[in-house]
Amino acid sequence: MENKVEYEKKPAQNPVEMERTRNRKVFVPKVDIIEAGDAMVMYADMPGADEKSVEVTLEKNVLTITGTVKPQEFAGRSIAYAEYDIGDYERTFTISDEVDRERIGAVVKNGVLKLTLHKAPQAEVKKITVRTE
Partner 1 sequence: MFGPVMWRFGGRMDPLHEVQRLQREMGRVFSGLEQPLNSEAPPVNAWVGESDIVVTAELPGVDPGKMDVSVVGDTLTISGTREAEILKEGESYHRQERNHGRFTRSLQLPFHVETGKVEAKYDRGILRITLPRAESDKPKKVPVSCH
Q: Which is nearer to partner 1, 22 or 109 (CB)?
A: 109
Give the angle 54-64-82 at the CA atoms, nearest 5°: 55
Q: Which is nearer to partner 1, 53 or 120 (CB)?
A: 53
**Dihedrals phi, psi of 15, to nearest 5 degrees:** -75, 160
Closest CA to 60 of 19, 30, 15, 90: 15
Asked if 79 is part of the footprint of partner 1 (rule: CB under 8 A), the reply reads: yes
Asked if 115 is part of the footprint of partner 1 (rule: CB under 8 A), the reply reads: no
Nearest approach in angstroms of CB 83 to partner 1 is 4
**The binder of partner 1 chosen from 50, 98, 116, 120 (CB under 8 A):** 50
